[in-house]
Structure 1
Amino acid sequence: MTGIYRSEAARRAVLEGYRAFLDQIEPAEETTVQTRHGATFVRSTGPPDAPPVILLHGAGSNTLAWAADFPVWSKTHRLHAVDVIGEPGFSAQSRPPLDTAAHADWLDDVLAALGITSAAFAGISLGGWLATDYAVRRPEKVTRLALVVPAGIGRQRYRAVAISLLLLPFGRPGGRWAMNYAIGPTTTPFAGPFADYTRTVQRSYQPRLAPVPRFTDAKLRTLTLPLIAIAGAKDRMFNAPETAKRLHTTTPHATITLIHHTGHLPTAYRTPIHTFLQQ
């Protein structure tokens, strides 16, 4: 076993596939910054003098999660998509505990290396948790918070993950069933080369097993900054109705949207978040 990967061959398959996709999408500046928790890969695009936005992807993913958003949001903002440490990207494989300040310290180092004192943050799933945690711990450094299917607010669900792990060994069809069940339902079929790559990632790396810590009501109430949250009403990973209810109660100023008939892969967030970032 190699770090977070099941083998050296698995690590190469994930990273070579990642590089191949990066070479196919819209070019961006790429840099690797040093932090106290290891090297961190960042893709940046947009006018250098535009308002900065830090983009944090979810578990089992990398900066490709934002590939379709880059051409739109970079027209008005300086985007920095960060490979989260401990996930299948080009950043370090270190996984400090989530229930400590370690990831906030890590983001401190990332922002410092990029020369950023404060920025808007957008996060998907685990990335939403990381962005929220940072906003709670470093409110002076987060100007706006955009959350997509965020972890750590509604209760975490385990049935979808358990079923997906049972399906993975059944070859390519099993991988397809596993992924579609975990992220579904979705209004957009999850198929094609990128879906194949995503299944390669799921077969190749060791997911985090520790539950994502839930934010207390007291911590959520400290989020007085502009906030938008978008989730799929039928999310099988996190209880999205509970997420919406808790945010309505603790952050009544926030804009919260549940997309009906959609799970952990909402596709209708790009325009509302871009509008939110420009306000």
Structure 2
Amino acid sequence: MTIYKSEAGARLLRERYLEALKAWPHDELRIPTPEGETFVVAAGPAEASPLVLLHGSGSNSAEWAHRFPALIEHFRVYAVDIIGEPGLSAETRPPLTTDRYAGWLDAVLDHVGAARAAFLTSSFGGWLALDYATRRPERVAALALRCPIGLGPMKKGFVVKAVLLALLGERGRRRSVAGVLGEPESSPIVAQQLLVSANYRYRTGPFPVFGDAALSGLTMPVYAVAGAEDAMVDSATTKRRLEAAGATVDLVPGTGHYIPGAADLEFLTRAAANGDFTA
């Protein structure tokens, strides 16, 4: 089954994405992997330390457009369209309980010649980076996680509320998305997510939760930031479990699942300066 609700919807989301890509200078890579072709947006000095960006669910690398100017001053940036998401990569969705996503990221890093890389991630991208870091710690120089999932059960209340609000039609769906993101209903971010949800089939089923033994194997520097008012993720549990594994975690008061700001850049540049990127 395709990840899109219709071919017209798929075409609309691709056109919007391609239009967004025109707004910022970059190279475009189409990388063969065991899971199908993977689209990567690359920019920054070729000799700089590699930084991999992994967006959230229901998104693509345009999510990082506003971050590129600052990031490419310090890193060779590779924004990866996650497979099975509404970007330009293959629609493949391997089971999350397997090591196939790790093999996929191996192929991406091998293609760009990065023996090790740091990762900057959002939400589901954080789950993928944590999965990779627990399976391939030698290839991960540092982890900067924004509202990561997989560290505790997802909150159930937001699902019930979303279903009830959906009964109110477009207005209810807008309120639901705004509530999850912690953004005003008039936000363009809310509008984009509404467009995606109208045309794209999100992943279903629970995301596996990482055990303490897996988290104890995170030998690289780890920084995470999460919204204290996240309606979808238990941020207090995220903070407690990551700090127990040696990470630094900031909870942002009055903030939901969408986190503005860029405190993670200081963490990443410090990790690079300390030699954590050395192979």
Common fold by TM > 0.5 = yes
Report if the CA contact (8 A) 1:161-1:182 is conserved.
no
Alignment correspondent of 1:100? 98
Total equivalences in the alignment: 270
Give 1:191 deviation, angstroms: 3.4
Unaligned runs of 5+ in 1: none
Alignment correspondent of 1:236? 231
Alignment correspondent of 1:11? 10
Seen in structure 2, the aligned counterparts of structure 1 residues 234 and 192 have a Cα distance that, compared at 3 Å, is closer
Range with bigger deviation, 88-97 or 169-178: 169-178
Q: Distance in 2 between matches of 1:88 and 1:204?
A: 9
The one-letter code sitting in structure 2 at the alignment partner of 1:205 is: Y
Report if the CA contact (8 A) 1:13-1:200 is conserved.
no
Q: Distance in 1 between matches of 2:14 and 2:198?
A: 13
Report if the CA contact (8 A) 1:43-1:82 is conserved.
yes
Alignment correspondent of 1:262? 255
1:89 aligns to what SS in structure 2?
A: coil
Alignment correspondent of 1:273? 264
1:278 aligns to what SS in structure 2?
A: helix
Give 1:248 deviation, angstroms: 1.6
Q: Distance in 1 between matches of 2:163 and 2:104?
A: 30
Alignment correspondent of 1:64? 62
Unaligned runs of 5+ in 2: 271-279
Alignment correspondent of 2:276? none
Report if the CA contact (8 A) 2:54-2:81 is conserved.
yes
Superimposed CA distance per residue, residues 56-102 of structure 1 (whole angstroms, 9 cap, x where no aligned partner): 01111110111111111111111100000011110111100111101
Residue among 147, 152, 155 paired with 2:153: 155
1:145 aligns to what SS in structure 2?
A: strand
Give 1:45 deviation, angstroms: 0.9
**Residue 218 (structure 2) pairs with residue 227 (structure 1):** no
Seen in structure 2, the aligned counterparts of structure 1 residues 78 and 178 have a Cα distance that, compared at 3 Å, is same
Alignment correspondent of 2:194? 199
- TM-score, length-scaled by structure 1: 0.92
The one-letter code sitting in structure 2 at the alignment partner of 1:245 is: R
Seen in structure 2, the aligned counterparts of structure 1 residues 64 and 169 have a Cα distance that, compared at 3 Å, is farther
Residue among 126, 129, 133 paired with 2:127: 129
Report if the CA contact (8 A) 1:85-1:91 is conserved.
yes
The one-letter code sitting in structure 2 at the alignment partner of 1:191 is: S
Percent of pairs with identical residues: 43
2:90 aligns to what SS in structure 1?
A: coil
The one-letter code sitting in structure 1 at the alignment partner of 2:72 is: S
Report if the CA contact (8 A) 1:164-1:181 is conserved.
no
1:241 aligns to what SS in structure 2?
A: helix
